[in-house]
Structure formats: structure tokens, C-alpha cells
Structure 1
């Protein structure tokens, strides 16, 4: 249905017209228009917001296999100068979701010609991966219960790994992470009489220092997996030399190899922050943003990816440790219980993800397509009519 040149044209059109998380209406419409020529057996629109799902049924009973892609782009100004650079100021596909969409569209083109033999295959395009909201929105959509996958798979391109090489592992593949925002509130006073106020300055410094030491403390408590805490922003008062500060904010990123480790990190960070605030006679409140669970691959899911690599003669490596970056795909494997995410190398000289000059390599489209199709063949078979 679609040759490689047509898929590259699609990828470049998506690249030129990026949309931020939960704003992907035009991107979803573009994908829907292409899939309308594929005659899927069922089509779901507005899934979890702007999400899409296309179902291809087999003629015999069998498992349901879900393949996921992402719709959203990032709030980054592109610095590339090629003809298909982003046409949207301050927004661009710097994580390669344009390429992921093209790969899963290519799988759809193949399933249009050759349906699965047994069970069914769901090709899902989710919104808002970058904020950690999209997969939760899709899974919590009431209609997702009728999809109910037995297996779930996804890939993510990965700069620094040889072009076309796969990296995978059983267990945690991507770390859990979340942004923690700590608000400290005291009372302002005249800078000439700071004793008449309650300044959060001392507490802010203690919290920054103490939280930075927290991962090493947890490491000594036999908590499974590694943990990190990174202070990313702090603000004290306002720029007014006549006023002693009354408010402060500390923002940190919590990261853990396991969901259990994340829960320990949260509990201890909150306990420590409350203790410091109480000692300094401050009111404290905490909120969270960009919440990602760990993405955990099942052993069978990992084995299916390895088998696909071996069958397609795609080089691969088994990772010893999880990727530190986060992904919301874990919502799907938690629902399906079996499945895996794997990394597909974008090249050792490629700009890194989220860099302003990054661009998805088109050579990965047929490689990713073949890997997904082989996984589908292993689980569902494919009725070859071509």
C-alpha cells in the first residue's frame, strides 16, 4: 500500500507540522486519513483525548497484540535548516515520534494486505507521551476495556547506539520519574528588620542539600534498584532589596529504577522536607508533575523481541541496566502483563533526543516495520496474500 518513499514523505509532513501534548488533533487527523485506506476492522478515534486505535482481526481465535506509537512533539525551537523543518514556532519533533508514527503506519499498510491469522492486532497512536499523561488517558478511556491487549510492544529510537541496532532487556527498561515541587511559605518583612518576618531562605538551602544526599541514604537501606534526585530549579522571594523573602520554591526530579524505589524516594523526600519546614516555622505544600511509572518488560516480551532480531538479522544487545530516561509505555505492559519496549539505534553520531538539531533517521522505518511484523507473526501469524 505504501512504499518507503511514501512513508518518508509522511514522516516529513508530520515533522513539518508538530503539535504539543494533548493538542495533536491535526496529527491524529493526518494519521486517520492514511488509515482510512487500510480498511481496518475497527477504528477508535478520540481515544484518551486525541488518540487512535486501529484493529485488524484474524480468522481464528488468539491473542490480542498492541503496537504503540506516540503523536506529540516537544516545545523546542528547531535549528535544522532542511526543507521539511518544523513550520510551527517553538515546537518540533525532537524525540522522533514522527518516525515512530511512520513505522506503525507501515505496519498498518502491511496488515491491510495480509491480515493476522489468529487473534487481533491493535495499532495504537497515543497522545501526550512527553508529559506522562497520554498512556494513562488511553488506558482509562472506557472504550479501552474492549481492546484489552494480551501483549503490548513499542520502540523508541536511541541516539548513541549504532544505526539499526536493537537494545532490550527483561525487567525495568525505563526508569520511573516525577517532578516534585516544594512550596515554602513564611512571612515577608522589611529588609531592615528581617526579625519581624519568617524567611524560608535557610530552609530552602537545607532542603536542597539534604534532598541531594537522599539517594545515597536510600542505597544503604537495601532498596532494590538505583535512585536519583536532581534539583532543577529554586526561587527565593522577589527581586526587591527592601523586602526580606516570605516564600520559596524548590523543584526536583525524582528518578528510580523501580516503582517501589520511587515510592520510598517520595516518602523520604516528603518527610525530610516537612521536618525542615516545621523546624523553621514555615508552611509547606508539595505537588507533582510529569509522573512516569517504570516501564517494565516481561521475560516473554523480551524473548519475542530477541527472536524478531534474530529472524530479521538485526543486530541486538541485552542491556545490563535500565535506560535512565522515562516513558509512559509502562501503562500498557502493566495492563497487558506481557510485552516489551526496545530501543532502536539512531546512530552513534546522531544528535541526542530533545536536542534542537535532532532528526529521525528514515533508514529506521523499514527496520522497525520488519521487527514489529515479525513479533506479530510469532504471536498472531499473518495470512500472506501478497
Structure 2
């Protein structure tokens, strides 16, 4: 079964939705215009319930099926990124310094396309909970929606999501049981020594040397403390210190991102980072302040739901268009909180050649939207069939 005919017939309309969303990107939890646009479309489709203001601007809409049954959740993230767009598209961002560089405009469009179809057909039992989530890009909107009781409030039994993937074969679905994406933690370390003239370092406490050695030492954690078969990444991404070539600066700071899959490895890395910072502070006579932000957990698919999702995907893409043993990614996703709360699965959908995610020239491939919408729709019909 390829793209559903009714959804294929809405392709131009879906493209219009996506271009509107692309022109009006919003960041974090402040997705007010985006949520208003989504809510307006859902009212037009005739959803049975519309719940707004969850996690500030999140939406959960309920579509009733044609018989009693459980509730299945489908999720799309809505927020954009603080990037100046360089696509040259005639529907480019109208908001300076903001753009949909990760395809969340496409994710919203796919779920809206599925919502329209499901409202029109209702060939399923139970209910569908359409989850439109703000603040995936670092804000943890998924966590907030779960903490506000979304799963229990709407009796969601299982939950699914899709992320587009440029430079993966167009229309192909990839996933895997177990860990699919990594956890992500952020570490910021402030270092204070004693500044002074660069010609007299003996009367100073050099924070530059201390920071340099701390950064180098952190690179030994993965190679010397983490078991070689437990994937982990520690990347120092910023160092800020100094203002002139003849001054030893008083203070500076650096930050790093930590990625892994195993909670025990995650805890080990934190212990080692804190120990290294403390030891180097004593060695160099500097003071340190460590802000360790425990971020998104690993995105871990439930095995049965991942198998079911890939079986449904094969109806849309054909048996040759699915990969159930994809490599797991060091990127992170706050859909992980929903998978911690309920069984479910997350998949990648290939959108063909193009600029990568989070790139200023990235642009979601509109032809992929009917594919994703068809997957969501068939997922519901297969998971909760009518007798």
C-alpha cells in the first residue's frame, strides 16, 4: 500500500500549511502563532476535543474512533531554531534569526495531514491523541508535557513519533529496537585564578593553563574510563577566556556536551568529569564552579512497538523501503520522556539529498509529508482496528 489516496489528494494543501509554518518560525515554548495555526486547522477537520496551553503552547487533540478502545498517541514537535535562513526559498522565514532548520514544520504538516484523514474516515476503534509539542530544541517540552500529566489525563496507552532525515533515501523508514538516540548532558565550568601582567606569571594564578589542561584531561574519560563497546562522546564546544595579548586573565569558562546510551555510563562520565575538574583546580590553585545540566535521556524504543511500526512502514514504503537495524545516533530527542512514560517507538523518514539538519540551507522536502501522514494514519488503523 503506497501513500493513501485521500492523503495524496491533500498534498497541495499540506504544502501550503508547511510553507506558512516555515515562514513563521517560533522558538522554544513560545510557539503561540504556530499553535494557533494548528488549532485552527484541527477545528476545521472536526476533532472531538481540543486541549490547548499544555507546556505553555502545546496542544493535545482527540479524535474518536467508531468503536470503543484504547488511546494511541502521535507526536509532532513545533519549534524552530535560532538560525538565519539561507535557503533562498520564496517562502523563507520572515523572522530574522529564526528558521525551521530541523523540519519541525514538516513534522507538524505530517500530523495535520493524518488528522484530517482520520477525522474524515474514523476507520479505527478507541481514540487518537494528536500531540503537538513545543520546545524540543533544548527546552524539554516533551518532559514538561509528561510532567503536566498528559499521558494519564488522556489515557494514552502507546505513543509514536517520526523525524525526517535528509540524505537518507527518500521515503525510507529506519528504526531499531532499544536505544535509537543518545542521552545529552551539558557541562559548563567557570574557572577563576588571579590575573595580572603576562610578563610576571609567577605572581598570577593562570586560569588559561588550568582550563587548557582540564579540557585535555576530559578527553581521556571515553578512552580510559568507558568500556570500549559502550558508545560515548564528550565534546568541548566553547572556551571563553582572555581579552589582550599581555594580560593573564582572571577567569574564563568552557562548556561541553556529553552523549551516551547507557545510564550507568552516563553516571560514570559525570563522576569522572567532576573529579577531574576538582583535581585540576587543586593542582593549579584555581576556583571552579560546575553547572552540570542533566538533559534528555536516551531515546529507547520498545521492541514490540518498534517491530509493529516498521511493519506498518513497510505497507507505505514496501519491504525494501524499511530498515529495522539502523545505526543508533549520537543526536538526542526529548520524545525520550514520552517513551519513558509509555511504550512506543520513534522512526526516521528519509527525505533524500539536501542540506543537513540544523544547517542554514536546510529545507524540508514537501514530497515526504504525505508519506509521513500515511504512516501515522495506517499506524492507527492497524493498532486499533474495527471489529
The TM-score range, normalised by the shorter chain, is: over 0.9
Which of 102, 106, 112 is the equivalent residue of 1:99? Answer: 106
CA shift for structure 1 position 287: 1.4
- CA contact 1:39–1:112 (8 Å) conserved in 2: yes
Instruction: Please provide the CA RMSD for this pair.
Output: 2.0
1:125-274 equivalences in 2 (<5 Å) = 125-142=132-149, 144-220=151-227, 225-236=230-241, 238-241=242-245, 243-274=247-278
- CA contact 1:169–1:318 (8 Å) conserved in 2: yes
- CA contact 1:293–1:331 (8 Å) conserved in 2: yes
Instruction: Tell me whether 110-119 or 202-211 shows the greater mean CA deviation.
Output: 110-119
The aligned counterpart of 1:76 is 83
Query: CA, structure 1 residues 89+241, in 2 after alignment: closer, same or farther (shift >3 Å)?
Result: same
Aligned length: 378
CA shift for structure 1 position 46: 0.9
Q: Deviation per CA, 1:215-254, whole angstroms, max 9, x where unpaired? A: 112334x7x6300111111122x31355322212121111
1:371-386 equivalences in 2 (<5 Å) = 371-381=375-385
Which of 359, 364, 371 is the equivalent residue of 1:367? Answer: 371
Q: Deviation per CA, 1:331-361, whole angstroms, max 9, x where unpaired? A: 111111x1111000011x2111111111111
CA shift for structure 1 position 307: 1.1
- CA contact 1:132–1:292 (8 Å) conserved in 2: no
Which of 300, 303, 317 is the equivalent residue of 1:299? Answer: 303
1:31-46 equivalences in 2 (<5 Å) = 31-46=38-53
Q: Secondary structure of 1:178's partner?
A: strand
TM-score (norm 1): 0.92
Q: Secondary structure of 1:74's partner?
A: coil
Which of 107, 115, 119 is the equivalent residue of 2:122? Answer: 115
CA shift for structure 1 position 69: 0.4
TM-score (norm 2): 0.92
Q: Deviation per CA, 1:255-309, whole angstroms, max 9, x where unpaired? A: 1123332222122111111111122222211114582211110111111112102
* Regions of 4+ moved over 4 Å: none
- CA contact 2:151–2:341 (8 Å) conserved in 1: no
Q: Deviation per CA, 1:45-91, whole angstroms, max 9, x where unpaired? A: 11111101101123544322111101101111111222111111111
CA shift for structure 1 position 142: 4.2
- CA contact 1:160–1:346 (8 Å) conserved in 2: yes
